[in-house]
Amino acid sequence: MNRKVSVKYLGLVDYKKAWDYQESLFNNVVEAKQANREQKEKRPTPNYLLFCQHPHVYTLGKSGKDSNLLISQDFLKSKGASLYHINRGGDITYHGPGQIVSYPILDLDNFGLSIKSYIHKLEEVIIRSMARYGITATRLEGATGVWLDADNTANARKICAIGVRTSHWVSMHGFALNVNTDLAYFDYIVPCGITGKAVTSMQKELGKEMNPDEVSNILLEEFEKVFGMEIIRKQ
């Protein structure tokens, strides 16, 4: 099993450009797996981990409802935002500057993971990373993502959304962690299709602007520990 993972930082990148890049890497991994089934000599399948930020954009997953976008297309454009219907699970979410988005394109067979255990490990990466900043984050029964005060119905708030796609046991899409995110953009949607729950950020919880590069490095360190990865850094 190949646990080497190539890490790439894309910076602030258009959502569609990043999505196309994900698809190309995803297809590379799937094709490598399919080739191995046909060959006697097996070659290691690659793994990738992308970090980036996006300009203002809303993405609606396969099971999402258009009604969870609460504004018109004209108002959407006036806010400098765009909307994409995409092929991950889950409902609607927001991406924007100040939010760290990570896209793991992994052969889950390399890590001995089911889809359920993969999502659990993604959540664990976030939970451990938040603990390093003194933020107590947990899971919420019946919902993906990472939450604060999950056991307090009146005060539960999401700090990280998770939405993935898998095919042939290869993953794509991933998570969006609110670091210095402008939370006002969440007012225009029903985040992840869940009503009555708030959204928060590291900046809001800690009362100061965070260093995104530092947060990304901590996330990467926790990825290494939780998944048992061997990281290969690329720019």
Token pair listed for 4: 């080497």
SS3 content of the chain, % helix, strand, coil (to 5): 35, 30, 35
- The verdict on whether 192 is a catalytic residue reads yes
Of 7, 185, 218, 158, the residue nearest 98 (C-alpha): 185
Give yes or no for a contact between 99 and 181, defined as CB atoms under 8 angstroms apart.
yes
Q: Rounded to the nearest 10 degrees, how much is the dihedral formed by the CA atoms of 225, 228, 230, 234? A: -60
Placement of tokens 């307090």 in the chain = 152
Q: Which of 192, 202, 220, 226 is catalytic?
A: 192
Tell me the C-alpha distance between 224 and 201, whole Å: 24
Helix (H, G, I), strand (E, B) or coil at 58: strand
Tell me the C-alpha distance between 131 and 219, whole Å: 11
What are the phi and psi torsion angles at 178 (to 5°)?
A: -80, 110
Measured CA distances, 200 to 29, 40, 142 (Å): 35, 51, 19
Tell me the C-alpha distance between 51 and 46, whole Å: 17
Residue 117, C-beta contacts closer than 8 angstroms, at least 6 positions apart: none
Return the active site residues.
192
